[in-house]
Chains A and B, each alone.
Chain A
């Protein structure tokens, strides 16, 4: 059974087909126990996909199952077994952190005090503080604890590290890796590619509401595009498949997705002192997918 299975999910805001497109024909599966990344810049459709899975918005078309349950019919059971971290956590004014954590646990009809205390200690969160006094980072920590304290089977995290300092990010990912080892499925949306590359085993790339790639992080990194760095002088003018070009007097670097024969021909014509052709990192893959249509 897949932890998340999305089939042709489409969401238009406003009237169907005439409204603003949120996502279109999104299909995606996340296996149980997987640590899956969901990459895309702001406005690409990451949050729309996640919010549809959680029943906050209704799909215009398509279907999805979370933990084998239908997102339309079994919303409450899905939410009982899922932990969700929103990109921007907001809490009720006047409440203290401990009240927020208790309210979250009460809404789940669970006693989460022990787990909450452990998480607060690890993330160094003072539960006696009022939520309106919290910094963005501390509000994020409170939201993380709300998402984790009931020990869910699936974690859906929307831009989880924004606002967290590097030390806290490390502590947070340590907790996630522990949970993942214990069998928890993690679906992490982010535009910070390095954190997806470091932590996820698989990733999906979303662009303008459509999934443009979905594979293991390793396989995505082995995409046909290569990072080419040339020291010397070459004329790239006629070469197609060149993107992300950075040129100096002495060298040039670019992402290349054209044929090797053509590249070699151009190099042979030029004056090359040194050359390196390497696998791009995820950041470059991301640019590769995002510049495909340009």
Chain B
């Protein structure tokens, strides 16, 4: 527990900043929804005629004028992309920062096994992801109530669950990479997340590269699909979780036998 507490204390500013930024953007999106609601009914047809661009964001399949449609497209992107950046960044720095900042020598000359270090650091990463998601969910519910809309519980919880699973997958994969790095890997985390996000957009635009959806976790996090299917794509999620497990196994395997410089 000592290391978990230490990691949470060390990461508190980043958690506050990312959670705050996502929550504020979410609130802004939801607060402008009533005003846009009437106009959106007309604009939705326009989106439908925008071809690939609208398809990339799923705007051709959902009514932008309904709360679920608006939430899936606008808020889904904010939570999905923002949360993914946060998760990948804390995952990639969890183990690598010790060598980057020269603190590995301090930490690993205490009577704590490497496996224990990996376990507690992983737990701290996951706890931060959980805390961020809970706060964002609560803020979202309060904002929906504040604008006088009925909470679409099922759709909302499904979308938030998908985003949460996406973050878990990215955090775990980046955590695995972190064990191999000696310097910070922020560039890798940001690059990986961006590439995966765009892969999903491309998959939305063309049937030929639809299989990208099974590679990128943004595929099962797509709000439009979640709402239209009325559930999560279990097969894609299972594949994603397999990547997460592989990331975690790689972290243990690598870090437990690594030379610390």
Contacts and interface: CB of A to CB of B under 8 A. Distances in A.
A76 B113 contact: yes
Contacts of B111: 76-77, 79-80, 107-108
Nearest to A75: B113
A91 B10 CA distance: 12
A166 B251 CA distance: 45
A206 B101 CA distance: 29
A115 interface: no
Given A56-B259, A86-B105, A91-B103, A108 B10 contact: no
Interface of B: 2-3, 6, 10, 101-113, 257, 259-261
B105 A58 contact: no
A84 B101 contact: no
B13 to A, nearest CB: 8
25 contacts: A51-B105, A54-B108, A56-B104, A56-B260, A57-B260, A76-B111, A76-B112, A77-B111, A79-B111, A79-B112, A84-B109, A86-B106, A90-B101, A90-B105, A91-B103, A91-B106, A92-B6, A93-B101, A94-B10, A103-B2, A107-B2, A107-B107, A107-B111, A107-B112, A108-B110
Contacts of B112: 76, 79, 107
Contact of B110 (A57, A79, A94): A79
Contact of A92 (B2, B103, B108, B260): B103
Contact of B2 (A54, A90, A106): A106
Main secondary structure of the interface of B (DSSP, over half): loop
Interface string A51-89: 100111110000000000000000111011000101011
Contacts of A58: 257, 259
A57 B199 CA distance: 40
A112 B256 CA distance: 28
Identify the interface centre among B10, B105, B113: most chain A CB within 10 Å of its CB: B105
Nearest to B6: A103
Contact of A146 (B102, B104, B106, B260): B106
Contacts, number: 61
Contacts of B2: 103, 106-107
A104 interface: yes
A142 to B, nearest CB: 10
A244 B110 CA distance: 44
A290 interface: no
Nearest to A93: B101
A289 interface: no
Contacts of B102: 88, 90
Interface in A223-267: none
B208 to A, nearest CB: 44
B108 to A, nearest CB: 6
A89 to B, nearest CB: 7
Nearest to A77: B111
Contacts of A173: none
Sorted nearest first, the 3 A-B pairs with minimum C-beta distance are A90-B102, A80-B111, A107-B110
Nearest to B260: A56
A54 B109 contact: yes
Contacts of A77: 111
Identify the interface centre among B103, B104, B111, B112: most chain A CB within 10 Å of its CB: B111
Contact of A56 (B6, B103, B105, B257): B105
Given A92-B10, A106-B2, A107-B2, A79 B109 contact: yes
Contacts of A146: 106
B111 to A, nearest CB: 4
A18 B261 CA distance: 19
A72 to B, nearest CB: 11
A139 to B, nearest CB: 11
A79 to B, nearest CB: 4
Nearest to B12: A94
